[in-house]
Amino acid sequence: MKRAFLCFLMLLPAALLAAGKPWFQGTLEQAQAAAKSQNKMLVLKFYADW
Amino acid sequence: MDRLSQTAVLCHLNIDKPETKPISKQFHLGSIPAVVIMEPRGQEVDRIIGYEGDRSEWLKTLLASLYGIDTISDLQSRYAAKSDLKLAQSLAQKYLDRGDGASSLAWVEKARSFKPDTETDSKLTLIQGEATLFTDPPKGADMLMKLATAPGSPLALDAFQTLSAFYKRQARNATSPEEKQKAKAARLEVFHAVVAAQPSNPDVLSEYAWYCAGEGIDLDKALAAAQKAAELKPKDGDALSTLAEVQFKLGKKADAVATIEKAIAFNPDEESFKEQKEKFLKGEVEK
């Protein structure tokens, strides 16, 4: 199981890199509501302008 | 990312936007960029601090967090099963990343109970200083300043960057012009103290010069610092980029272009250097 997960970790980034960036369009509250209703994890990326 | 979005809702937030500032405080964001991972009902699972760097490695870290590996909960379970220094140190760092200074300090103490070697103890002191910024800011600032100005300290640059980021954050979150000015002055004081204590540290000199160029202050001192940094690290793209920026701010456009071209030659894939050159050629001086 652990080996399968490690393989998954090794292979998935390449696939992810090849894909686009499907970022949620909306406010934090809307993203939280979407995560709850879809029973998905929420990944919040905070960045700044500088 | 498409496949990742099947598992998680991905949301990015610019903390410099006025409407996002309260969220930054709500999450006790110490460093930016930061990624906060939450479970569907809103409980925080983990957070990843810092630039992505190697994107493949970063995505692996993100996926591990999504699967609950190396999260606070996971580390605590492992510590309960078999306590050791490394786990205690990781937990001290994890709580610090979460902005929970008190818990971080408690784990620093637990880590110290394992009698760490000098190198690990120094790292714990750095975590302790940063965690203290949350619980007792003046005391934390004092601890970090001592680390940043200690002769030959291997963690001087880390302590300096942490302290500099702390005042930068204070300036950003200031609620009045006076408060903002006070934070900026404190940050400049840190730069002056650390540059005086580490006059041959190219990274410190470069950071000071970059800051001055950004603020449009002390440009002659910034030029001297950037030139010295570039002499100490002649093939370092960042040092050359900083020198070019200062030259540009001083109106030395031809010098700036020549210097950034050197940086590009050493780092042909670095897009930001190419953008910098474009900016110089267009003659746009940032204020």
Q: Where are the domains of chain B?
A: 1-70, 71-135
Q: Could you report the per-residue pLDDT of B102-111, keeping only the tens digit for each?
A: 999 999 999 9
Q: Could you report the per-residue pLDDT of B187-214, keeping only the tens digit for each?
A: 999 999 999 999 999 999 999 999 999 9
* Contact residues on chain A for B172, CB-CB shorter than 8 A: 48
* Contact residues on chain A for B45, CB-CB shorter than 8 A: 41
Question: What is residue B26's predicted lDDT score, i.e. its pLDDT?
Answer: 85
Q: Within an 8 Å CB–CB cutoff, is residue B35 touching chain A?
A: yes
**For A39, phi and psi rounded to 5 degrees?**
50, 50
Question: What is residue B1's predicted lDDT score, i.e. its pLDDT?
Answer: 60
Max Cα distance, chain B (Å): 63
Q: What is the C-alpha separation between B65 and B71, in angstroms, rounded?
A: 6
Q: Under an 8 A CB cutoff, do B27 and A46 touch?
A: yes
- In angstroms, the first-to-last Cα distance of chain A is 43
Q: Is A50 exposed, middle or buried (0-12, 13-18, 19+ CB in 10 A)?
A: exposed
- On the question of pLDDT at A1 being above 60, the answer is no
Question: Cβ atoms within 10 A of the Cβ of B1, count?
Answer: 15
Residue B2 pLDDT class (50, 70, 90 cuts): low
Q: Which residue has the tokens 């610019």?
A: B14
What's the whole-number mean pLDDT along residues A1-12? 46
Question: CATH classification of B1-70 is 3.40.190.10, yes or no?
Answer: no
> pTM, whole model, 2 decimals?
0.79
Phi-psi region for residue B68, left (φ > 0), alpha (ψ -120 to 50) or beta? left
What's the whole-number mean pLDDT along residues B59-88? 94
The distance of Cα A19 from the centroid of its chain, to the nearest Å, equals 12
Q: What is the C-alpha separation between B164 and B141, in angstroms, rounded?
A: 10
Q: Within an 8 Å CB–CB cutoff, is residue B117 touching chain A?
A: no
Phi-psi region for residue B28, left (φ > 0), alpha (ψ -120 to 50) or beta? left
Please tell me whether residue B45 adopts helix, strand or coil conformation. strand
Q: Which residue has the tokens 């390449």?
A: A14
- Nearest of B9, B2, B16, B3 to residue B35 by alpha carbon: B9
Selecting from A5, A22, A44 the residue whose C-beta is nearest the C-beta of B1 gives A22
